[in-house]
Amino acid sequence: MLPPVSKEDFAVILANALCKNGVEQKSLHFDQKDFALRLKDGRGQILSSLHLSNLYNGFSQATTEKERDNVVRRALAVWSQSDETRSYEEVKPFLRPIIREKRHYPIASDDPSQLAYPQSPISYQYTLLIAIDNTDFITPLSEFDFEKFGVSFEVALEDAYDNLNKIPLEWAIHESSESPADCCYVYESEHEYASSIIVFPEAILELPVLGRHIVFTPAKNVTIVTGSECMYGLQTALEFIDECEYRQNALMPEFLCLNENGDGYVSSELSRDHPMFEPFHKIRLLEEAGIHVEYAKQYESKFDQLYKQSNRLADYTVYDIDGRFESQTEFAADEHNVIFPQVERILITSDEGDISLFWDDFGEVAQDNCPQISEYPLLFQLQKPLTKSQIDDLRQLHSDD
């Protein structure tokens, strides 16, 4: 058995191979967030990209050094056959809509070393991009690509929809032995755009379920559909979600429901009295904690450039209280200019005793102090200190809790 290779080491292996084939080393950059190699000019502008996910999967699954060498050779061939030399008509048959997490694909970027991606938001976490389905990897189209091809996002999206619609859709059906109507549908493919079938809500609505339709895309190549009253279906969906968590192509499994019109999705959750509420609630809280942690890293790295005054980003903490999961943030009673996420509980610390209360109770008293400053991640800012009267009111709500 061959020793495992990390994603970072794989990027180094490919970078070395590219340099041996004439690519200038100082022009080659590893984009860890997007798992891609970028070729940049002297001004930092991105000239071309090589996305590594599928290549890495093939490299990791290889059982001999020869098979690994073949993966590297394919990567070199792909790099030499850049999309820069192809016209839009040549790439159009290979366009696909893809579902990805917003946090990895900025809509706009003032930094020339970062790509901006035209897109259409799907829900709180997910966004829809357009990609080229190459043999060994999928390349999301950036603003640079649309300019190069001379086509708008809207036109390319229609073509990508048409291409996806031609792919046969076959669901695996998992049914309860006691009640076949209690079921879970799974579509899994080798392609990393299998999750994209959610762009056809009518295909989701055709699936009979108990209760309202619930959709998960825990991996780029997996879509799961069940119903809010499908106990077996929800448990089966949970098992698939757990299994997908450790995949190379994993996505955060956001809990999606069809909107009232049935033509799109909303981020949702089971009711608190639902038997399956807690396990799915835990997933949501941990997902949002992960988004906040990633934002915190970016915030800290750019703090000096973006903020002239003293701001603090509060933590997002998830607690397990006897099998119940709760999110919380905290700040001091005399603080201000605190940026904090939407959570279930707010903890306010003071010399007179701590105050712990629900989000809605806090908002009832302090909403004028805390405008929303970001939609994704969802953030608020305590712009001025809480008054003594507000503290007293919050303390009263705390004692009534």
- Residue ranges in 62-191 assigned as alpha helix (H): 65-80, 88-91, 143-149, 153-165
294 lies in some domain: no
Residue 243 included in any domain: yes
- Residues 148 and 178 reside in one and the same domain: no
pLDDT value for 146? 92
pLDDT digits (tens, 9 = 90+) for 102-122: 988 888 866 655 678 999 999
Give domain status of residue 277, yes or no. no
Considering 33, 53, 81, which residue would you say is the last residue of a domain?
A: 81
The secondary structure element, H or E, covering residue 362 is helix 359-366
- Among 80-94, 200-214, 336-350, the range scoring the smallest mean pLDDT is 80-94
Same domain? 190 vs 223: yes
Per-residue pLDDT for 401 more than 70? no
Identify the residue with better confidence: 75 or 392: 392
Q: Choose the weakest-confidence range: 24-28, 123-127, 284-288, 344-348.
A: 24-28
Place of tokens 């390349």: 139
| Domain assignment of residue 278, yes or no | no
Lowest average pLDDT, out of 46-50, 288-292, 328-332, 364-368, goes to: 46-50
Looking at the structure, tell me whether residues 307 and 390 fall in a common domain.
Answer: yes
Yes or no: say if 29 and 44 are a contact pair by the CB < 8 Å rule: no
Q: Are the C-beta atoms of residues 221 and 190 closer than 8 Å to each other?
A: yes
Kindly state the percentage of the chain with pLDDT values over 70: 91
Q: Are residues 155 and 176 in the same domain?
A: no
Same domain, 136 and 186: no
The average pLDDT across 79-89 equals: 70
Q: Which domain holds residue 113?
A: 87-166
> According to the 3-state scheme, what is the secondary structure of 75-110?
HHHHHHCCHHHCCHHHHHHHEEEEEEEHHHCCCCCC
Helix (H) or strand (E) holding 227: strand 222-227
d(CA 100, CA 54): 15
Q: Point out which residues pair with 380 in neighbouring strands.
A: 340, 372
Strands 138-140 and 183-188: unpaired
Number of structural domains in the chain: 4
255 assigned to some structural domain: yes
Query: Are 4 and 21 in the same domain?
Result: yes
Angle (nearest 5°) at CA 275 between 271 and 276: 80
Residue with more model confidence, 161 or 10: 161
Claim: this prediction has a pTM higher than 0.85: no
**Last-in-domain residue among 62, 81, 100:** 81
262 shares a domain with 183:
yes
Residue 274 lies in a domain: no
> What per-residue confidence (pLDDT) applies to 308?
45
Q: What is the mean pLDDT of the chain?
A: 88
pLDDT tens-place string over residues 16-40: 888 877 777 777 888 887 788 887 7
